[in-house]
A and B are shown apart, each in its own frame.
Chain A
Amino acid sequence: MMSTGYEIRWHGRGGQGAKTAALLLADVAFKTGKYVQGFPEYGPERMGAPITAFNRISEVPIRVHSNIYTPDLVVVVDETLLHTVDVTAGLKADGAVIVNTAMSEAEVRPLLGGYQGRIYTVDARKISMECLGKYFPNSPMLAAAVAVSKVMDKDEFIADMQASYQHKFAKKPEVIEGNMKALKMTLEVFENTADENVEKSA
């Protein structure tokens, strides 16, 4: 009944960039002509505290200004949250959850409170270390969210992100290439696993 578009909930820890990822996703979705919302929910402002961020992406103007309780997609940026936060609460049965972990989908499923829908894993640490030499999970997780949600075309996403990073990292241009590489590498991982998963759940 409610037409609030496609809803995404991000779970991360302060300092990992979950909020930035949500704002960047709003940014690129806007460029494809969509109506967007990207906003964080702040708890205690400190590094490492659990934080939540949200996206609504819609073909029509968005008026609702509440948090998201029945998301289409949940993105877990920090797997240690699986033990303390009910990340799949309210997640739609035909939705999906993406977890940043080295574990397989089968290994992570028991930690997701009996969620029966699509589950994806992505090793953002490995990708980030390889592309950036440092652990910044938000670029791989952003690419994963785009790959799974299909809110926009992948080529369009890559082109827009190049511009977004040039703006965001105007004072740190040396990190742009690594972040772009991380996005592309993640998309490649999902080229294969995403399709497999869809077939499985079909």
Chain B
Amino acid sequence: MAIKDRMSGNEAVAYAIRQVNPDVMPAFPITPSTEIPQMVSTYIANGEMDTEFIPVESEHSSMSAAIGSEAAGARSLTATSSAGLALMWEELLLAASNRMPLVLTLVNRTLSGPININCDHSDGMGARDTGWIQIYAENNQEAYDNFIQAYPIAEHADVHLPVMVCQDGFITSHAVENIELMEDGVVKDFVGEYEPEEYLLNPGKPIAVGPYSVSNYAMEAKKNQEIALERSKEVILQVAEAFEKISGRKYGLFEEYRTEDADYIMLIMGSAAGTAKQAVDDLRLQGKKVGVVKLRVFRPFPAKELAKALSRCKAVAIMDRCESYNGNGGPLGSEVTSGLYRNKVMIETVNYIYGLAGRDFTVNEVYDVFAQLENMIENGQQAEQYQYIGLRKQEAPSE
């Protein structure tokens, strides 16, 4: 029986953590993810779960401790945001390359500077090449559902990789919305007990974790890691299918919303996808053939699958909530266009940077983006292929 409730994104993730009851959670607080370890600590203090909570002195330590406990054979997790994730940089790579199936719940917040506490995807995108699986949520429901699916993906024998479950800081983490929760027993049965094949605290079968590797072998280790990431795509889909059976909610690598006959598609990630869907419904009433592709799984990157999904449209707006500072576009813009090219899908693309450091992104701006795509195709009006939306208008200099 589904439980109808209302809660914020942070509350939803903390609730899921209580239901999964992992073995170890080292954490260090940082806005806007602070509530997650805070609520988990309360659950533990109230005797509602028995996870070993380790208060540490930094995020460098929280990820190190999570790797240590995972290597020992304990199901582990941590939570962070922004600069906290940046401070974990070295350990993120260690977690993935040592094939530690731990979970990090990331509440997306911009990176400094200027110093700012609000949402964009700079933190997650900064960690995009660390070897982690990254799954993004549109709302509190998806943050909850994605967390429940995280360990079955991470711990699968074909994968053995860490999973980052991401949601938008404040926009979903601090917004109270309706949600459907599952019963504790259903979640526990779905996630199951953690039975690692190999782990440090196993005297019968000693292993080494993280030893030096000479050049004769290190490259193969890296290739194996890449194979595991590629294989995880199939596992993510299998887990989603099993999850649908217990929840009735369908997940994939991405969601296609009213795209069957769409001439123009907006490709977007996170909470703004909901805003885009509302705008698409409004524009459809005017007879505009528009749709949304909401990317859920950013790592592994579903380049081939996206190229296929976009192959029938005339133009796509690729929306980045992150600046890459490469002079050529945002991370999504670069990866989607290279995916289209390699798969010989030669459609028009415009890469928009939006919503940095909490700048609001509105239904009206979605209308503007679709109008620009349409104007480009129908009237030959050239559009800048890489541009910002939602910037303040420049004021005329005063005399």
* Interface residue ranges, A against B (CB under 8 Å): 1-2, 4, 23, 26-27, 30, 35-42, 45, 61-67, 69
Contacts and interface: CB of A to CB of B under 8 A. Distances in A.
Given A2-B363, A42-B117, A63 B277 contact: yes
Interface of B: 6, 117-118, 139, 168, 170-172, 174-178, 271-272, 274-275, 277-278, 282, 285, 360-363
18 contacts: A4-B278, A35-B178, A36-B6, A36-B178, A37-B176, A40-B174, A41-B170, A42-B118, A42-B170, A45-B117, A63-B277, A64-B274, A65-B168, A65-B271, A65-B274, A66-B361, A67-B362, A69-B362
Contacts of A30: 6, 178
B175 A38 contact: yes
Given A1-B285, A30-B6, A42-B118, A66 B178 contact: no
Nearest to A24: B176
Contacts of A45: 117
A45 B272 CA distance: 24
For chain A, what secondary structure do more than half of its interface residues adopt (helix, strand, loop), or is it mixed? loop
B175 A39 contact: yes
Which residue, of A35, A61, A65, A67, has the highest number of chain B Cβ atoms within 10 A? Answer: A65
Nearest to A4: B278
Nearest to A69: B362
A37 B278 contact: no
A66 B174 contact: no
A39 B175 CA distance: 4
A66 B170 contact: no
Contacts, number: 64
A66 B6 contact: no
A38 B6 CA distance: 10
A69 B174 CA distance: 19
A1 B172 CA distance: 25
A37 B177 contact: yes
A63 B176 contact: no
Nearest to A58: B178
Contacts of B174: 39-40
A91 B159 CA distance: 52
A39 B171 contact: yes
Nearest to B274: A63
A38 B140 CA distance: 12
Closest 4 CB pairs of A and B: A63-B274, A39-B175, A65-B271, A30-B6
A64 B281 CA distance: 12
B159 to A, nearest CB: 31
B282 A67 contact: no
Nearest to A22: B176
Contacts of B172: 65
A66 B177 contact: no
B332 to A, nearest CB: 18
A36 B362 contact: no
B304 to A, nearest CB: 28
Given A65-B168, A66-B360, 6 more contacts: A26-B6, A30-B178, A35-B178, A39-B174, A67-B360, A67-B362
A154 to B, nearest CB: 21
A28 B139 CA distance: 20
A36 B271 contact: no
Nearest to A34: B178
A124 B287 CA distance: 49
B296 to A, nearest CB: 15
Contact of A36 (B117, B139, B177, B274): B177
A41 B175 CA distance: 10
Nearest to B286: A1
A37 B175 contact: yes
Contact of A27 (B170, B171, B176, B361): B176
A26 B140 CA distance: 15
B117 A65 contact: no
B176 A66 contact: no
B6 A65 contact: no
A144 B174 CA distance: 24
B278 A36 contact: no
A62 B117 CA distance: 25
Contact of B170 (A37, A39, A63): A39
Contacts of B271: 65
B12 to A, nearest CB: 14
A39 B170 CA distance: 8
